Structures are given as C-alpha cells and as structure tokens.
Amino acid sequence: MATTTAPPKKRSNLTKGFEMFGRSFLLPVSVLPAAGILQGLGSAFTNGDTVKMYPWMQNEVFQFVMGFLSKMGSAAFNNLPLIFAVGVAVGLAKHEKGSAAISGLLGFLTLHTMLNFLLTATGKLVSTAGLEDTAAKLALAAKMQTTVLGIQTMDLNVFGGIITGVIVYFVHKRAIKMHVPKVLDFFSGPRLVPILIMPVMALAAVAFFFVWPTVQAGIAALSVLILKSGSIGTFFYGVIERLLLPFGLHHGLNWPVRTTELGGIFTIAGTEYHGTIAAYMASLAHGGWIDPMITRFSSGKFVYNMFGLSGAALAMYSCAKPENKKKVGSLLFAAAATAFLTGVTEPIEFTFLFVAPALYGIHAVLAGTTMAVTSALGASYLTPTGHGLINYIIYGVLQGPRTHWWLMPIVGVFCFGLYYMVFRFAIMKFDFKTPGREDDGSEIVLHGKDETRKKMGVRTLKDDQKAASGKLSDHDQAMALIKAHGGPDNIEAVDACITRLRINVKDKAQVDAQTIVNDLGAMGFNESGMQMQSIYGGHANVLKMEIQDMLGMTE
C-alpha cells in the first residue's frame, strides 16, 4: 500500500524557540550520565547501610577508591549552574562556539560577583561567621543565598546558569557581526563578545537583585503545586512528555524538571537541592530514605522502556503474518532488547507511530499510567538519562533496599501484559499495518524518526538547520566556489581565518558574489583589493582545505 507524505507544516517561532531552548540542554547534560555512574557506583559502595550488610566493603583501599569515584562524579553535580551557563551558550551559538564558551564562563562569574557586591553594599549579605557548615547553609538558604565557586551570592541555582547562557547567546549573535573602528579591529568579531558580556551581565545582576526574589517565590509556589499534584500530575507528565517526543520538544519539558526548582525543592541533610537529579544524587550520598517524589518522573520510565515496549513488540510479532514472523521477530527482538538494556526506544516507538499514530497515542496513555502507578507504590530510583537495565542496576539495585528496586520487575510483569493485550487488541480490531502485516508485499522494516516525521509533515530544528546549510557536500560546495570565483585559472591563493574563506583572484570581475551568498551558503561577502572574503564561520577552514586539494595548492 502506497503511503502519502503530508506537506511540511509551518512551524511557529514559539515552537522553534521552545525546541531550540530544549536542544541547548543537550550539551551540558551530556556529561551527567558519566558523572552519575561515577557517583552512583561510589555512593552504592560507601553508604553506611550497604557497608554494614557486606563487611568485606569495609576494606580501606576499597572505600578510598569508591569515595574517589563518588567525589569525581560530584564535581559535575555540584557545579551544574556553571556547566549550564557555558553549555547553553555553546549549544545555542551557531558560530564561534569557543567565544560563546568563554563568554558563558565570564558572564556567570560576573553575574555572581556583582550580586555579591550588591548584597554587601546594601547590607543584605548574610554573615556565617562562627557557624558550622550545616548551620551556615541553613542560614543562607533562609535568605535565598548560597555560595557559588567561593562567591557568596543570591541562590539562582541552575536557572542562573540557563539565563546566563541565553543572554550570552543574544549578545554573541549580534557582537560577532558588529563593526568597530579600524584602530580597534583586533577586538572585533568573537573577541568582542566577552568584552561586552561583562557590562551586560553586570546590568543583569542589578535586574536579578530586584526581581529574582519575586520570581523565585513564584517558582517555589509552582514547584509546590507540581509536587501536590501527586499521581495525577505524574500521569499527565508522562503522557505529555511522550506526545512531545515526535516533535523533538520533550527536552524542553524534561530538563527544567530534572535540573531546576520546577522539579521540586528538597532538603537533604540540612541542604536545599533544586531539581530531581541533584536531589537524588544528594540522597544517595547521604544514605537513608529516598523521597519517592524526587524520582516520580523517572522510576516509571524504566518499567515501560524495559517491559511495556517489549510487550508491544511481542504484540506486533504475534499479529504478523505467519510467513513474515521470522524476519519480524528478529527486527522486533533487537529493538526490544535495545530498549530493555539501554533505554533507547526510538526504533519501536517511531515504528508504530509511522504505521499507526493511534498506537502511539495508546502508548502515551499507558506510559503515563505506568509512571503514576510505579511512583505511587514507592519506587525511588532515578537516572540522569537512559532508562534501561544498565542504569537500573547502578541507580536502583546497587543502592540497596532504600530504592525499593524490586518494585520495578513486579510492576513490569503487569505492564508487559497490559501493553501486549492492549496493542494486540488494537492492531487486530483496527487492522493496523504493523511490521509483517503489509498487504502490498513491501519490505519489512522498522521505521526511524526521520522518515516518520517526514510522513507526518513534522519539521524539527535539526531539519531547519540542515535546510539552511544546503544540500551540497563539502566537495561539491568547494567545486562550486571555485567556479564562482572564475575557475582555477582565476585563483591565485586560498586561505582562511577563523570565519572567512579568503580567495585571491586575478580578475574580480569574474567573481559571482550573488551565487556565493544566495546558493553556496555564505553568510556574507566582502572584497579587500583582489582578495574575495566569504563568511562561512567555522566551516571556512574546511572549505579552504577542500579547494586547496582540488587546485593542488599547499600551505
């Protein structure tokens, strides 16, 4: 049966902005899985309850190694605001990412240094002289203050880092294209960004000083509302998060909950932690009971990733035509095993989204139900990312009985059966053409997210970026640039600086600047004597080397 492709839907600026914001989190959070494993393993073998149960762990060398791993992982979790300040700035910047990175760091330091100055000048800086560490933290928390990189400042938490990264992005976007007087030319472009970011972040500090207490009170109130929503809130979170996945918008929901006050404010061993990841890691480090409210947006994901989608895969296999079951079984088993072991679910989810979006809607409801039930039963395990067997063992089983890890396989059996029965019923009742049920003899394959989104007419930020960069390969783009500069005989030298491809020509009348800008992806074009300068950002050096190779030039 032939399939029709819906025309691409026009994406609103709000949708693009939300997706861009969500995707900017990917760089800073990419470090969290590795850091989480280190801290999870270290905490699992150093907490008092586990050591009492297994006397062999009391070995000093073993405890030193495990403590070493735990501290190594905590370096990331204890500095999340700074990581987000740099990571978001780099993630949002399209060019000169090195400049964005150093500007993010400098902007973050400027923000908190100026906040310290303002608190001191107004007499609002809390004195912690003579107080023990726990008492000092409580005194600071009571006045919404904290210590960041040794600077006593307002407690902006991860929000401070995210907002810094966003501000740096807007400054960076404009500053790298600004023209400065020729005598100051050295400070133009990417060098100008960190210079400008200092006064900008100083002004931002003044705004934070007056506005943030009100904003933080509002965030705290929203956090309490989310926490009080209980199982109903968990259910709707699970449903919405799955429904956002096909559009690439789920990161904008997940990471604010995992890393900011929106995920909850939890007090552990006298210290406040904002967001579910920081609170869970602190709980592991300090031992004892773990609040299921910290993990309610994570525990159930293990269940439906490992068991629910396996049940869906079995349902699709059982509904396949007998002659197709062997091939279908091998494909679905591999996809289910991937989801079970690592938590990577795209091969299965996008397959039934491709053939029958209604099945995906059923999956979203079942996922939300699974998350609500698992949390209500008291499961208390969480992972920064990757809800599969490997992380379940590290963050659940190895942490001992306080995580109630045994609930996962128990709920999983019921989840497996529920997914199997519901999916099988829906497939047979509505004759959904899941793999192996095709009528036209087409090839039996699992469907990826790119072809599924194309069929649905859905465009993501990544699609827009691909379209903006053009379809030419580096080789073809270089060949076209040679032609646009009058051909090999008209080119004398090829070079590049950080952002500009510089080609010296014999006759500039042969140069087609319009084609270079409109068809070959240049962001700008300038002439300096007989030197033609095409602005390609960091890609300029790649094009330079391609053209030099084609023309037989060496540096």
pLDDT tens digit sequence for 373-404: 999 999 988 887 778 888 888 888 888 888 89
* pLDDT on residue 441: 59
493 membership: H or E segment, kind and range? strand 491-496
The CATH architecture of the domain made up of 470-551 is: 2-Layer Sandwich (3.30)
Mean pLDDT in the chain? 79
Specify the pTM: 0.59
Coil, strand or helix at 504: strand
CA angle 316, 321, 327 (to 5 degrees): 70
Model pLDDT, residue 251: 67
Residues 49, 425, 497, 514: which is the catalytic one?
497
What does the domain layout of the chain look like in residue ranges?
Answer: 31-78, 81-214, 299-461, 470-551
- Rounded Cα gap, residues 107 and 113, in angstroms: 10
**pLDDT category, 229, cuts 50, 70, 90?**
confident
Give CA–CA dist 247/463, Å, rounded. 11
Concerning whether 497 is annotated as a catalytic residue, the answer is yes
**Cα R_g (the chain), whole angstroms:** 27
Q: What is the DSSP letter of 125?
A: P
Q: How far is residue 134 CA from its own chain's centroid?
A: 33
Please write the tens of the pLDDT for every residue from 404-442.
999 999 999 999 999 999 999 998 988 888 887 776 655
**The Cα angle at residue 314 between residues 308 and 319, in degrees rounded to 5:** 130
pLDDT of amino acid 469: 45
Per residue in 39-65, pLDDT tens?
Answer: 777 777 776 666 776 677 777 888 888
Identity of the amino acid at 522: A
Q: How far apart are CA 417 and CA 51, in angstroms?
A: 38
Average pLDDT over residues 515-543: 81
